[in-house]
Amino acid sequence: MFSGYIARMHVTPKSLLAVYQTQGHRMYDGEPVTQLEHAWQCGFLAEKSGAHSALQLASWLHDVGHLWVNAEGSPTLRGENDAHEAVAARLLMPLFGPAVSEPVRLHVAAKRYLVSTRPTYGKKLSSDSVRSLALQGGPMSEEECAQFELEPYFSDAVKLRVWDDLAKNASWFEISRDEAFEQLSSLMDAVASQNASLIEQRT
């Protein structure tokens, strides 16, 4: 199901940036923010929480799958699960490695986990998140929670999820669009060069 979406364009950091430059103005339907505002707010919260750069980038790009599949409106309003976390992880893994792609792949599961493990968490979810929760499998069972905790990027996924839920503030965008794109571009460069030097050290 995802390969068509991903094959549609050659995926590069530049093409990911272009997705936000051309489609970031779209509203995150069901929420009072645009896709660019949501992405920037989530990345900003990660940065202010002292997250490492790969997790900051994951936070920035966690919903790129929504934009990549190019569906208009909120799929959940149509009763659809667009599997945007899986689409995004497939895009991000070859470019930035698992420290970025795994928290992104797990950010939907992290919501299901938090609903089950933190009694107050579910009460704070937005209506779009509540609607998508049902489509995404609902709260995790005890066994699913135990399995989820074994994921190598479990902790980063939970952190990302908490920032994701907070990043839905109307009119919160402290910099210009161009500055936001520059931030994203620098973050992508930083993570790519960290990965390159890690590979160099291993060879």
The residues binding Fe ion (CB under 5 A) are: 63, 164
Instruction: Count the Cβ atoms, other than its own, within 10 Å of residue 180.
Output: 22
State in angstroms the smallest separation of the CB of 107 from Fe ion.
6
Structure tokens at 159: 């952190």
For residues 91, 94, 100, 103, the Cα torsion angle rounded to the nearest 10 degrees is 60
In angstroms, the CA 127 to CA 184 distance is: 28
Minimum gap (Å) between residue 29 Cβ and Fe ion: 12
We find the least distance from the C-beta atom of residue 63 to Fe ion, in angstroms, to be 4
Please tell me the distance from the alpha carbon of residue 41 to that of residue 122, in angstroms, as a whole number: 21
Instruction: Say if residues 13 and 2 touch (Cβ distance below 8 Å).
Output: no
Q: Which is nearer to Fe ion, 63 or 156 (CB)?
A: 63
Q: Kindly tell me which of 102 and 164 has the beta carbon lying closer to Fe ion.
A: 164
Q: Which is nearer to Fe ion, 33 or 54 (CB)?
A: 33
Question: What is the closest distance, in whole angstroms, from the C-beta atom of residue 104 to Fe ion in the complex?
Answer: 9
Considering the complex, state which of residue 121 and residue 194 has its C-beta at the smaller distance from Fe ion.
Answer: 121
Instruction: Specify whether the CB–CB gap between 173 and 32 falls below 8 A.
Output: no
